[in-house]
Amino acid sequence: MARAGTALRLVGPKVLQFAFVVWATYTVTFLLVRVLPGDPVLAALAVQSGDATTVDPEQLAALREAAGLDGSLLEQYLGQLGALLTGDLGTSLATGRPVVDMIAAVVPGSLAVAGLALVIGVGTSVVLAFLASIAPWRWLRDLLVQLPPLGVAVPAFVTGLILISVFSFSLGLLPASGSRSGDSVILPAITLAFPVGAIFFQVFITAIREAESSGYVFTAEAKGLGRVAVFGRHVLRNALLPSVTSIGLLIGYLAGGTAVVETVFSREGIGRLVVSAVLARDVSVIQGVIIVVAVVYALAALLVDLSYPLIDPRLRPGKAAPKATAPSTFSIAPEADALSASTQDPQNGAAK
């Protein structure tokens, strides 16, 4: 009974946080669309039938009602929020189909690309970080650390087009476009893996540097362990934990990156759905996709939070003295959070 109580106290706030993220995302997108000038329904109609067409007022009213865009702003807000709670993301202004169905139809294609990209990106950066830490020559270590920022600076559409030109047209190894065959996933995933791997690498290498400067690594080196053993047994395990936090950041990049990558490789997927929705000025679909991405992001954050005690025994409740657990939970927050957390102390002192 007491166990269930502690579990609830641990899980409860995290679940609340999850609900908040989804609600806040909905609110932000709703405000964004309504505050900016322009009527989404009229814009969508204008794209469909040209600017000069006269719109039948009754038809317009019917369309507004179908899209949940009738009535006052507050009514619209609450109506769409109520629908959101039941898993309804509204209907598309361009096609009239439910947004949920449109998204569900294309999710598998995007998931395959994004999942493979995550595996390739994270795998490559772990190998690179390993080499950058144990390479015997300083210039090689410096060079390897300098490489990943390049991965962020190269636009995904350029990487994609170069990959197509080399592997599809010059070598003829892999298909350039489409999503029919299984190996068509490979090139888009590699394209997406560049920025994702680069971001993960930067978080990972920072965590490695931090672990390397710690007392237990000093001890391990002092007692004569080899470079590889110190890295594998002490540095790697301690650096992986904080790096897991960056998975939320990576999901954001993956979701945003699909728009470009799926266009370059002409694949069906969430990104293509968004791009065609922008072309049709179909705001409801884009809003739906953003909310779905927020749900995935918040779910991932929730799982990461809940898995900490499983990965790190120091964070298990009742296992260690609270004094030892508290600072380590905060030090694994992502960099910007850590910044604001560390700046709160002098401020609190000043406020008194």
- Residue range at the interface with other proteins (CB under 8 A); choices 24-32, 50-58, 196-204, 231-239: 24-32
3-class secondary-structure state, position 321: coil
Q: Return the half-sphere exposure (C-beta side, CA atoms, 13 A cut-off) of residue 288.
A: 28
Q: Does 28 bind other proteins (CB under 8 A)?
A: yes
Sign of CA dihedral 73, 278, 105, 262: negative
Count of residues binding other proteins (CB under 8 A)? 65
Q: Smaller CB distance to other proteins: residue 126 or 192? A: 192
Q: Smaller CB distance to other proteins: residue 33 or 107? A: 33
At its nearest, how many Å lie between other proteins and the CB of residue 147?
A: 12
CB of 185 closer than 8 Å to CB of 112? yes
Q: Smaller CB distance to other proteins: residue 278 or 303? A: 278
Q: Does 297 bind other proteins (CB under 8 A)?
A: yes
At its nearest, how many Å lie between other proteins and the CB of residue 227?
A: 29
Q: Smaller CB distance to other proteins: residue 267 or 281? A: 281
Q: Does 277 bind other proteins (CB under 8 A)?
A: yes
Sign of CA dihedral 60, 63, 69, 75: positive
- Window 143-172: residues binding other proteins (CB under 8 A): 149-150, 152-158, 161-162, 164-165, 169
At its nearest, how many Å lie between other proteins and the CB of residue 153?
A: 4
The whole-angstrom separation of Cα 102 and Cα 259 is 16
CB of 128 closer than 8 Å to CB of 150? no
Q: Does 306 bind other proteins (CB under 8 A)?
A: no
At its nearest, how many Å lie between other proteins and the CB of residue 214?
A: 23
- Alpha helical stretches, state H, the chain: 2-35, 40-49, 57-66, 73-85, 99-134, 138-153, 156-163, 186-212, 215-222, 227-230, 236-244, 247-264, 270-279, 283-311, 322-331, 335-351
Give the x/- contact pattern for other proteins in 210-229, rule: CB under 8 A.
Answer: --------------------
Residue 173 carries which side chain, given as an amino acid letter?
Answer: L
CB of 235 closer than 8 Å to CB of 211? yes
- Window 255-274: residues binding other proteins (CB under 8 A): 255-257, 259-260, 263-264, 274
CB of 251 closer than 8 Å to CB of 290? no
What lies within 8 Å, CB to CB, of 181 at 6+ separation is 175
Q: Does 33 bind other proteins (CB under 8 A)?
A: yes
CB of 22 closer than 8 Å to CB of 293? no
DSSP state of 225: -
Q: Does 191 bind other proteins (CB under 8 A)?
A: no
DSSP state of 168: I
Q: Does 62 bind other proteins (CB under 8 A)?
A: no
The pair of structure tokens assigned to 55 is: 């719109």
**Footprint of other proteins on this chain (CB under 8 A)?**
20-21, 24-25, 27-29, 32-33, 36-38, 40, 43, 149-150, 152-158, 161-162, 164-165, 169, 248, 252-253, 255-257, 259-260, 263-264, 274-275, 277-279, 281-283, 286-287, 289-290, 293-294, 297-298, 336, 339-340, 343-344, 346-351
